[in-house]
Structure 1
């Protein structure tokens, strides 16, 4: 049976794709949903002049909002209905997950299974609406103040009616994206929210490439910087692919069992522990937490009195937390390291894993089952998480610091490449799983037909 499974896996190719009707439907549905996402990014908010928005956005280009703009697929630059993308949902998810780990009542909900998770998801949605309303209001106020300072009438009719309409539109756009992501996850292929973020980043690649080579042609960017940047991208893709597949495999021994020939044989297996158990979650979480106050402060800074104490605080905060500044990089690195350990503790429970091994008769050689096994798993997991956190910090922080110093567009940093590579690998893995399941289904049908013929 094992050799047959190996043969099926080795024969997994694109020729089998034509026979997998369900898989093709899922892929077409995913592509259609992402096209809808891209169309929405070009629908402006009601009451704004889209022809003037690009001129206003140039005033903040090169700042932290470039990262927000990249994650939303350029929607922030065009002030579309989905200007905030899915970042408020991610921020709300962070708050709910941290609260469920600290608050006893929410922790009990988490242990209730599907009903508890449904309740936590409902709280996350409430938090998403709340954060969208706050950020949407400051976006509207900032847009009015930008227009007043520059003399460009980006807002047709400024006032509370425009602000209310903008908040309602932005909240509705973000909630529609969440629904679209859920549809991709259930009816398409891959994780819907991750694919939406990746689609927003990939959509910026053509403009990035044209700006990069145009800068080399005009002489604004030195040729050696372009070559070094392309080499850095290649090295990052290779390094990300290597570390994301790196594992620490723990040997699991099972008691001896009688075989068909009457011999006693011990079964062996492996428990794979990924070096980066948290995946792309830490940089996304760290970015979203930084983007929430920075979005508010950067847009609010244009509408406050610069001579007041509050105005000076806002301006100073924007200066120190600007992209490439030491304080921003330090907070970003600390956030990545924290969420590496936090999310690893959320997704992997050593005590539960040790109990499951004990129930199935499995044990780690040299380690007593039960609490000793849980302690050993936590010991190993903590040390490989240190490596994973260091890898993520280097990949995400160092390239973006170099980009900030050289003036090359921000969005193609290590964080963006990490998301693109991870989501691509996960999606391809799911496609292969569907193809493998389809081949197993064909084998079962053939076996049933042969049994009936006999």
Structure 2
């Protein structure tokens, strides 16, 4: 890895791209430190707590900007939400489905629609953020009287929305002029930015005697094993062999070669985890606003649905598996895959073209999806089990590790491919 990075800095074009990416990330971190007007920057830290809740997840993705109420507090969450909404609507609404099938032009149209939806989501989340700030006394009382109240609300919502749009713009610039996928790189940077504070929490807990010195190497070994496991499962794939028939065009013969259709074990990425955590965050979010009385019915319901309860872990695991099957079903169509193979004069050895091929692909995907769903469920639930056993809050959960490892692997592969193109041994050498 270090050799690849060193060789990339030796190439002028790649060095320019790497430095541009670094500059954009520095701008992102500066924006994550500028507090929104009229707001107390430390008022939401108690709400985030040790990070093992939905607000902690948002804070992790934003690199601590959510807890400090900075202009980039929303980070890329409105854009990710808009993407999920458009992907679901593409299957449900025929006009959007037709646009999606128009190739590159259709993709650009859907991207523009996603940007408009993102602005609406940003305004909606900004209003929710403003309400949360008011409930947590993060805004001084003199700013919440008379007409000043509405002026302050509009300013805060506008700043949060503008910050979300600016983060997406930074991501687009990284994708176009830098290296890697911009949105993923920003998520990667936000998670790594919160790593020192998480390490500091563990060190303070260790110094106070809350962590036994014997547990420290166990923690390091467990997280190292998780990273290795995630790398193996991220690169794992099932290859379906495809044999293409020979055909004669004029005096030349084409085809006859063997290929394969790769089906990754983790087809859905971290989307099922985001779906499940967003759904289970609704009760805790309502509880943060309602503040039910201790001992009551709703208090007990919120207790059972808190991230530290075993029932939450079981329900979380089941939802991840369900959403994984749902997301893969929405994104992958075995009938269309079988038709593409047939139209290219290909066939799976031992399987007849047409419906038998689609049935075979469907069975393979179902088995692979089950393995991928169990993998995601284990990684997501692990921090809850770890916290219950050792009583150590692990803010850097499985979702964050999957994102960090996945983005690092994709970026390194892209960097290696760029180096290969620029150092290809051709006929002139």
TM-score by length of 1: 0.82
Counterpart check, 1:272 vs 2:262: yes
The within-5 A match list for 1:265-414 is 267-291=257-281, 293=282, 296-301=285-290, 318-403=302-387, 406-414=390-398
Residues 184 and 352 of structure 1, relative CA distance in 2, 3 Å threshold: same
Q: Distance in 2 between matches of 1:335 and 1:106?
A: 27
Q: Distance in 2 between matches of 1:335 and 1:34?
A: 34
User: Which residue does 1:6 correspond to in 2?
Assistant: none
Residues 59 and 391 of structure 1, relative CA distance in 2, 3 Å threshold: closer
User: Which residue does 2:94 correspond to in 1?
Assistant: 104
User: Which residue does 2:18 correspond to in 1?
Assistant: 27
User: Which residue does 1:197 correspond to in 2?
Assistant: 187
Contact 2:171 2:186 in 1 (8 A): yes
Shift of residue 374, structure 1, vs aligned partner: 2.0
Q: Distance in 1 between matches of 2:33 and 2:141?
A: 17
Residues 404 and 37 of structure 1, relative CA distance in 2, 3 Å threshold: farther
Q: Distance in 2 between matches of 1:283 and 1:405?
A: 22
Residues 78 and 394 of structure 1, relative CA distance in 2, 3 Å threshold: same
Shift of residue 389, structure 1, vs aligned partner: 0.6
- Correspondence for 1:433 among 401, 408, 417: 417
Q: Structure 1 stretches of 5 or more lacking a match?
A: 1-11, 448-454
Residues 377 and 47 of structure 1, relative CA distance in 2, 3 Å threshold: same
Residues 298 and 270 of structure 1, relative CA distance in 2, 3 Å threshold: same
Counterpart check, 1:49 vs 2:40: yes
Shift of residue 407, structure 1, vs aligned partner: 4.2
The within-5 A match list for 1:7-18 is 13=4, 16-18=7-9
Shift of residue 339, structure 1, vs aligned partner: 3.5
Q: Distance in 2 between matches of 1:195 and 1:365?
A: 41
Q: Structure 2 stretches of 5 or more lacking a match?
A: none
Contact 1:70 1:201 in 2 (8 A): yes
Shift of residue 156, structure 1, vs aligned partner: 6.3
Residues 14 and 33 of structure 1, relative CA distance in 2, 3 Å threshold: closer
1:412 alignment partner, SS class: coil
Shift of residue 272, structure 1, vs aligned partner: 1.9
Contact 1:399 1:414 in 2 (8 A): yes
The within-5 A match list for 1:125-136 is 125-136=115-126
Contact 2:4 2:415 in 1 (8 A): no
Residues 78 and 391 of structure 1, relative CA distance in 2, 3 Å threshold: same
How many equivalent pairs are there?
Answer: 416
Q: Distance in 2 between matches of 1:289 and 1:132?
A: 19
- Correspondence for 1:169 among 141, 159, 177: 159
Shift of residue 13, structure 1, vs aligned partner: 5.0
Q: Distance in 1 between matches of 2:118 and 2:299?
A: 27
Q: Distance in 1 between matches of 2:193 and 2:339?
A: 46
Q: Can you list the C-alpha shifts for 1:365-412, whole angstroms capped at 9, x where unaligned? A: 101123322221121111111101111111111223423664433421
User: Which residue does 2:143 correspond to in 1?
Assistant: 157
Contact 1:27 1:188 in 2 (8 A): yes
Aligned-residue Cα RMSD (Å) equals: 3.0
Residues 21 and 388 of structure 1, relative CA distance in 2, 3 Å threshold: same
- Correspondence for 1:187 among 177, 192, 203: 177
Residues 348 and 320 of structure 1, relative CA distance in 2, 3 Å threshold: same
Shift of residue 175, structure 1, vs aligned partner: 1.3
Contact 1:194 1:423 in 2 (8 A): yes
User: Which residue does 1:443 correspond to in 2?
Assistant: 426
Residues 165 and 352 of structure 1, relative CA distance in 2, 3 Å threshold: same
